[in-house]
Structures are given as C-alpha cells and as structure tokens.
Amino acid sequence: MSDNLTMKKEERFALILGILLSIILITSLIIIFKDNFNDKSLSRTACIYSDGKLVKEIPLNSQTPDMTFTIESKYGSNTITVKEGAIAVTDADCANKICVKEGFISNSRLPITCLPNRLIITIKTKDDSALDAVTY
Amino acid sequence: MKTKKLTILALFTALAFVIHYLESMLPTLIPIPGIKPGLANIITLILLYYYGFKDSALVLITRILLVSLLFGQFLSFSYSLAGGVLCLIAEWLLLKALNKRFIPIVSALGGLTHNMAQLAVAFALTKSKGVFSYLPYLAVSGIITGAVIGLIITFLAPHLTVLLTDGQTYPKQDE
C-alpha cells in the first residue's frame, strides 16, 4: 500500500491531468455562457460560405427584407431563408439535416453548419456604438 | 491468434458496429455537429484495456469501415476515422503511463482528443475559420461523454475480467 504522505508518481500524473481537464472544462463553459452577442449596439451581417468561399453577405436588421434563396455547390444544395432579421437553413439535401435543425439565428456565436454540403453561415458583428458616441 | 481471442474480437466488432449504428438512429438532441454519445468507444477502450493497441485498432477500423460502407458516406468515414484513431492513440499512451484505476481520466482525455480531431477535419473540409466557434462546445461534450464512458468501463471491469481473461484479476500485470 502506498504511503499517504508520498504520493505515487502515477497518482500525481493523474492529478495533474484531472486538473488540466477541469481547467479546459471550466474555460469552455465560461466561453459558452459569456456570450455577449445579445448586445443591441452591434450591427450584424450574415456571411454565407460555401466550400470555403464567401458567396453572400446579408446585413441582418429590422429593415432586411424577407427572402428565400438556394445555395448550390458540387456537394449539394441548401435553401436559406431570411426573416425578420434572422437567418436559417430551411431545407437541405444532406443526410442528417443538422443545419435545418439549428433553426433561425440572428445573434448567436455558433454558426449554422452543413458539413456534408460544406456550407457555413456565420454572424459577423461590428460595434457601431463607438461611432455613435463621436457623431453627436 | 488463439481461437478464443479471435471469437471475442469478432463478437466485439459486431457489438461495436451495432452500438454505432443504433446511436446514429437516435434523434439529435443538441443541434451542433459532432456532439453525440460515442458509445461505440466503450468497445475500443475495453479492448485497449485488456488486449492492447493492435487488437483495439483492428476492431475500431473494421467497425468504422463497416458502418461507412453500409450506411454512411465518405464524409462520415473521414470524421470517424480521424477521431477514432487519434482518440485510440491518446488513450493508449495515457494507459501506459497511468494505473487502470484512472480509466475515467484516460477516457475523458480520449473524448477530448476525438472531438478536436474531428474539428480539425471539419476545418480541412470547409476551409472556414467559422468551425472553431464550436471548440468550447465540442471540448465540453468530449470530456463529459469520455468521462461517462470511463465510468461505465470501471463498473463493467469486474465482469469483463472473467469473460476476457479466464478470470485473472489483472491481465496485463506482467507488463
């Protein structure tokens, strides 16, 4: 039996790994919950990437007209809908349809991703509040 | 290869295959690509624990090949293989350094490695930095599912020892 005072080398290694895992876990959780994308002073743009290339940029705000269009690539097609300042993939020919299940996003840090069709929609934000402060 | 071992490896390949397939039929609870229980890794880790790297790798690759050929597309093959193999290598190295009591830690790090490898494949395929916003989500899910799998194996170990090693308590004691 190992002495309580002298920790075995293995146990120390396990402890270090355990601490490392906890740190990664806690940091990740902090990043997930400290999502400041709800800030109203930010202007948002949806960027649609197909196969690594930017194919469309749509500003997302209350003035954005509703629209539906289809992005085609050699991997497949996705139907994208913009409605009331939010964007979603509403139809796709991929197998798992995770992109459709992700629903409408307007202020999310997470992009909509369709891996089978190599499609990614990210929300880019720009801080307008700084400018507003200067131009009063 | 002894007949008993051959039989057990074949049985475990079938088991891993069925687990993998059944899991793919479950509804997606969290709509984030890459987040799933990964229960088939229980088999990979059990074989690594009792038989070693080569046999475990054999069963893992056979399972991924079978699932991809029968139900999947090339895409799921590249993800599963990259994640599975890197996870196996990480767990193998950790098991060499750590006592078997620490299986949940080994498994949690394996799960983390698995998801990071899949993220790297996703980046290679989409060529978009956007996929890295999934990193914290995938890290959390990899660690949690890995730890759960490790706990499952801890509870299964007493029963498996009898099945896999003719009842010796610590099969790889001589190493």
What is the separation of C-alpha A122 from the centre of its chain, rounded to a whole number of angstroms? 6
**CATH (domain of B8):** 1.10.1760.20
Residue B111 lies in a domain: yes
Q: State percent of chain B over pLDDT 90.
A: 45
Overall size of chain A counted in residues = 136
Is there a domain that residue B85 lies in? yes
Give A76's strand partners: A73
Contact A57, A45 (CB under 8 A): yes
Q: Which of A117, A95, A106, A114 is nearest to A38 (CA)?
A: A106
Q: What are phi and psi of A112, to 5 degrees?
A: -90, 125
What is residue B143's predicted lDDT score, i.e. its pLDDT?
A: 94
> How sure is the predictor about B158, in pLDDT bands with cuts at 50, 70 and 90?
confident
pLDDT tens sequence across B98-155 = 877 889 999 999 999 999 999 999 888 887 777 888 899 899 999 999 999 999 999 9
Q: Which of B1-5, B65-69, B108-112 has the lowest mean pLDDT?
A: B1-5
Token pair 């987040």: residue: B35
* Cβ–Cβ below 8 Å for A95 and B94: no
CB contacts of B102 in chain A (<8 Å) are: 10, 14, 17
Domain ranges of chain A: 1-34, 42-134
pLDDT score for A2: 47
Q: Which of B32, B105, B128 sits opposite A21 (nearest CB)?
A: B105
Residue B170 located in a structural domain: no
Cβ B34 vs Cβ A102: under 8 Å: no
Residue B46 is assigned to a structural domain of this protein: yes
Give the CB-side neighbour count of residue B8, counting CA atoms within 13 A. 20
Number of domains in chain B: 1
Q: Which chain B residues have a beta carbon less than 8 Å from that of A122? A: 128, 130, 133
Which stretches of chain A score pLDDT less than 50?
1-2, 129-136
Yes or no, beta carbons of B136 and A96 under 8 Å apart: no
CATH topology of domain A42-134: mini-chromosome maintenance (MCM) complex, domain 2 (2.60.320)
Neighbours of B89 (CB within 10 A): 15
Quote the domain boundaries for residue B135: 3-165
Say how many CB pairs under 8 Å bridge A and B. 90
Asked if the Cβ–Cβ distance from A49 to B130 is below 8 Å, we say: yes
Does residue B25 lie in a domain region? yes
Element containing residue A56 per DSSP (H, E): strand A53-60
- For residue A21, the chain B residues in CB contact (below 8 A) are 105, 108-109, 112, 143
